[in-house]
Each structure stands twice: as C-alpha cells, then as structure tokens.
Copies of this chain bind each other. A is one copy, B any other.
Amino acid sequence: MGNESTANDTAGGTRGGPYDRGAVRALIDRLTAEGRTVLTAPEGKVVADAYGIPTPGEALATGPDEAVAAATAMGLPVVLKIVSPQIPHKTDAGGVLVGLGTADAVREGYATIVANARAYDPSATIVGVQVQQLVPPGQEVIVGAVTDPTFGKVVAFGLGGVLVEVIKDVTFRLAPATPDDARSMLDSIAAAGVLTGTRGAEPVDRDALAEVIVRLSDLVTDFPEIAEADLNPVVALPRSAGSPGAIAADVRIILDPDPAPPRPTFAREDILAAMERLMKPRSVAVIGASAEAGKIGNSVMRNLVGGGFAGEIHPINPKADEILGLPARASVLDVPGPVDVAVFAIPAAFVPGALEEAGRKGVAAAVLIPSGFAETGDQELQDKVVAIARKYGVRLLGPNIYGYYYTPSDLSATFCTPYDVKGGVALSSQSGGIGMAILGFSRTTRTGVSAIVGLGNKADLDEDDLLTFFADDPHTTAIAMHLEDLKDGRAFVEAARRTVPRKPVVVLKAGRTALGARAAGSHTGALAGDDRVYDDILRQAGVIRAPGLNEMLEYARALPVLPTPSGENVVIITGAGGSGVLLSDACVEAGLTLMDIPPDLDEAFRRFIPPFGAAGNPIDITGGEPPSTYEATIRLGLSDPRIHALILGYWHTIVTPPMVFAELTARVVAEFRARGVDKPVVASLAGDTEVEEASAHLFERGIVAYPYTTEKPVAALGAKYRWARAAGLLPRSSP
C-alpha cells in the first residue's frame, strides 16, 4: 500500500496511462472469488494508485526518521496515527495528532504518540505510526463513472454538495473519455465559472482535473466489472509546482460480477450491402399483395406502382393470378430471378413461414409492416422472426411500421401515400404516428426528402444502420430521426461520429422527461436512461437535438436548404426595430454570435439607412424604406467577407410589399451564389397574410423564411451552426 507502488503497465496502454492493470485485475479477481462487490477504502486506493489517480499520501513509519521522510515525500502537513492491534480507539489513547506542518513537528509528534500509546497500554504491540497527508483546502468536485443501460460506461463530473445533489449540475461523457472530452466537461456545468476563478479564487489546475477524469474513464473501460466508481470529493487545487493539482480524497468502487455482454454488431460493409439492396432494389416482392382496396397489401402495391418505382414488382398471393396487372405468385420462391426486398403485408402469425421462404430466396431485407409482435406483448414471436432472419442473413425493418420511402429510387414501399418531392433530408421515426406527421408536414411544406423510414420495434435494423447508409448516400444531405430509445447507444454514437463531419444529424429523443420516459416505457418496453446522459452524449457525438416534434420537422426542412456558414459573425438587418429586438433574443437562445460591427462597416451600412435608423447590430433600416434600402443593405451584408450569415427582419409596408421584398432578396442571394458567395440567409416576415406567400417564395429559393415568428428562422440557423461547429467546419470559438 502507499503511493510508492510502481506503475507497471502490464497491458500496454493505448489511451492514458501507463496503468498497472495487473494490480487491478488481481484485486478484482480476489474480490470476485470472495463474493464481494464493494471495495474497502484501502482497496479503492490500490485501484486509484494503479491508474495514477492521486489520493492523499499514506505510509507506515516504524521510527521518527522514517516518519519525517514519508511526510516530506508526500507533502506536509500530515496526520500521525498510532498503529497497534491492541489500540482500536486511537484518539482515546492520545494516538492521533493532526496538522503537523514541519519536519520537527513530525519527529516530536512521533515520539509523543508512541509515548502516549505506551502509557495507555504498556502491553500493546506498537507496529508503528501511520503518516497520512492532509488534503489541502481546494474546490471540491465529484468525478464518477456509472454503467448506463443505453450507453454503457459513462463518466460524470460536477461540483460537490448542493450543486450536484440539489441543482443536478452534472455532465456526462462516454468512457473512455479523451483529454478533450474531459476538458469540455469542465466547461459544460452551469457552475463552470467556479473552476476558472470567477469568484476571485485562483483557477484550478484544469489539466490535472481532466487527467483524473480520463484515468477513471479508462479504468471502467478496462474493467467492465466496475459498475460504479465515485471519487467524491476530488479536491481541485490551483496549478503549482509539485502539486498533484487534484486529489481524490475518497474512492468508492462497486463491482457487478455479471456485466451485460456487448450487443452483437454487423460489419460496416455488410450493413452497407444490405442497405444498398433495401434502398435501391432491382426487385421487390409484396407478400400479401391484394387487389382489394382498403387492404394494406393493396395500398403497398398501389404505392409501389403509382410511386413510379422502375424495378420489378412481384405481388405474392396464392389466391390471385394478377394484381394491378402484374402476375401474382403463390410464394416468393416462385419469382424468377433474385428478389432484393420483401415487403410483408400479412398478419403477424404468418410472418415466420413467409420469412423462411424469403430467406431461402435470398432477399436482402424483409420489411415487416404488420403489428402483433413485442409491442403487443408477443416477444416470443418477434424473437422467432429474428432467429429466422439471422439464419438466412436477412435484415429486418420493423416490425410494426408503415414501411419506407426512398425517393432517388422512386420507392414508396408503404401503405400510406406516395411521396415525390425529392430532396436532401432522410427522416426516420420509431413511431408510426410520428411517421405520419413527417409525411404530412413534408408534403404541405414541400420539403425535399431522400427517405422516410419507419423503424417500429427495431427488432433488427435501427438508427445506426440507417446512419451508416445515409452518411455515404450522395442523395442525402441531412438526417433527422425520431427515437424513443436506442438499442445500442454506443453503436449509434459511433455511426453519428462518422456521419456528422459530412452531414448534420438531428435527433428528436422522446421520453426526455420522467413522465415521458414512463410513457415510452409503457409504449416500447424500453428502459429509459437518465435524459441528461442522452443529452450530453448526443452532443458529444455532434448530434443536433431537437426540443420537440415541430422543431425536428423544421430543422429537417431547413438544414438541407441552408449553406454552411464559414464563420461565427451573424448580422441582423431589419425593417422593424421590434423584430430586431426579438431576433436578437432568438440569437442568444440559438447560441449565435451577433457580429461586433467594425467602424468602417458600420459607416458603410449607415450610408444606406436614414439618420435615425440604427446601425450596429441589429442594423435597423427603419420601417417605410423602399426596396432599394433592403437591397443595398443585403448586398453589403453578402459582399463583405467579414459577415458570415444574415438574418433579415421584414416589415410589411405599402412601400415595400411582401412579394417585392421576397423577389428582390431571392434575386440578390441567387446573384451572389452564382458568384460563389453562398452565405446562409434566413428571414422573419412580419406582416399581413401576403407574407405567407412571400415566405414560401423565399424558402423555395434557399432562404429559410417564416411568417409571424422571429424564433423559427433563427433556430434553424442556430441548428446549422451547431452542426457546422460539431463537424469542425468553423474556426473554434472561445469557450
């Protein structure tokens, strides 16, 4: 024991370290053999030492010189405690001295407490004196690690006391955490200012604190048996020579001898191969195809045919000769040539038999529309179906879904209605109802869509498979997903991390409140983890989280339309001062930076606006201005390279009617885009009902515009910025 233990890296550290993994393995094996799950404090210290997590120094001295040497090595002041098996109550025996600050005091102290102990019990065996470092006063924080049901090992950080226990000011990251992850945690808590010395105190040693986080996260990654680890408190100290910077004053570790096994995963190339055939099939079979209107098997057929799918369509129905003019077969096995996708429109009970046939036929994917599986309590039937699919290497979409759309293939494999506005966003929903809302919203707003996919029970294919495909799909420029749970949070994060550098990923995570999670529980049977974990880890993966359904839909509509900004300088140009104020508020909410306009640019803007207008930012061109004022200021905003994005506030007047504003703005933006200047421009239109047509006109031309709201256009721009930052496309802003 003691911090003199040598750090032998027996396992070859790839992250932090070197670590003495052998010491921890031996300890855990011993505890497991003993059937114990809770480590004692000394055992905790062994683990901390092995992973280089500083704890208060501790040593046994058998003479005054040894005590002085130990105390000097670990750092003064120290506590001395008599060590004698016959003296359990050390204080009563005068066997404890606290706060000895000099070598002389330690030397004298040693003599004193040994003398006291002898006097107290002359027959006692004096083993020696325990020398313990007194932790210097500093900012107390908590570093912990827990096992999340969705994400597995996660590391947590927060300030101690009220802030964690009452305010819940804690932040989480996936373990293992990189040093960057760890440093970002220090900035992610509401009380972050405490660590940087906001209150006049010295700033703490951030690197040392981050190092403790990294090391603890490595520990729980290396040893899945560690269910929980709590360093509480860690005393964070100012940076100074010779100081450890952070000391874990208490180490608590709890084991789970039976950790959950990792979920089986598919290889990336296998996922892509199956998804390719699912999304771009040459041949689709509809199992349960029907000629009878109102039947699901009829709707699916009509949507495939009516949607314009150019590949083969094979209705499968033993009782029909032809359906919609296509020859019907009794079994998918009767189809001549290969079949890529089999869409199932038959009752749940018949799925296993038909899936066997589809498997033998070699289909890549089975789209299971029917309900009646896990969601109605029949987990057994669902497991059976999954087993059949695994046997034949068939991937499953669903069950319990509306089907899916992939517009580049003109594919509407669904019982809803075809969708034909091609465009960049791929959407998915776990719930059918939300899928319907996606369809209706997209249709009414003419949102350009590459795919809409129902995931339902997610018995097999899930969000990370879709991400893997959409990341590479040239037709998809943004992805938006509604989900209630993640079957494998780590696989999702991995897929998201690969996707985000290329295209934005928006997630609407339902069940984010305790009540919502309870509803999700009753709905899907999924165990919902703490939403703060979801929130932090999705952000860590660069995912844009939509606060609600409407926001997810609006982001899905706007993100593919908006070009990517090249910097943080946002400028508001507004005809209505009142809108300018609300747009400024919205910028703060959306995490946007209103550019500090330099004097020359300010002067340039002032040339176009009335003397009583306000330059600065917002630039208030004032109401009642003619189209030329809007045009001149928008041109200036687009042409000055220091400005990276524009927010326009339009005010309906007789002098500049809505469509005049819309047309001039669209024209000027198009002109600049033709010249290669492609900045994001969003607009809020305040006015009578003509602003609706004007907003639609602008949106169709790549200017994200909304009537009667100052919040939505700014929120959409904010979402684009959040993605651009996560994708590393913007110069790092200061924290």
Contact = CB atoms under 8 A, between A and B. Distances in A.
A53 B571 CA distance: 51
Interface stretch (A18-26, A31-39, A339-347, A572-580): A572-580
B169 A434 contact: no
Given A436-B687, A436-B688, A589 B513 contact: yes
Contacts of A515: 584-585, 587-588, 594
A169 to B, nearest CB: 7
Nearest to A518: B584
A568 to B, nearest CB: 14
Contacts of A577: 375, 431, 433, 519, 522-524
A707 B191 CA distance: 40
A550 B614 contact: no
Interface stretch (A158-166, A532-540, A633-641, A668-676): A158-166
A515 B689 CA distance: 30
A381 interface: no
A363 to B, nearest CB: 26
A711 interface: yes
Nearest to A624: B371
A547 B547 CA distance: 14
A616 B521 CA distance: 12
B710 A436 contact: no
A198 B166 contact: yes
A218 interface: no
Contacts of A572: 519
Contact of A167 (B169, B522, B549): B169
A416 interface: yes
A147 interface: no
A16 interface: no
A712 B191 contact: no
A267 interface: no
A663 to B, nearest CB: 19
A190 interface: yes
**Most B-side CB within 10 Å, residue of A161, A585, A589, A612:** A585
Nearest to A516: B585
A70 to B, nearest CB: 34
A510 interface: yes
Contact of A688 (B416, B514, B610, B649): B416
A434 B691 CA distance: 13
Given A166-B191, A440-B707, A580-B523, A575 B516 contact: no
A241 interface: no
B436 A686 contact: yes
A518 to B, nearest CB: 7
Interface in A459-512: 482, 484, 508, 510-512
Given A429-B578, A582-B510, A654 B618 contact: no
Interface string A606-626: 000011101010101001100
A437 interface: yes
A215 interface: no
A688 B548 contact: no
Nearest to A443: B689
Contacts of A226: none
Given A376-B610, A444-B689, 8 more contacts: A163-B163, A167-B169, A167-B191, A417-B688, A434-B578, A512-B585, A548-B710, A550-B712
18 contacts: A166-B199, A375-B612, A432-B576, A432-B578, A433-B575, A434-B582, A434-B686, A436-B652, A440-B652, A444-B708, A484-B581, A515-B584, A519-B583, A522-B614, A523-B577, A523-B578, A523-B581, A548-B711
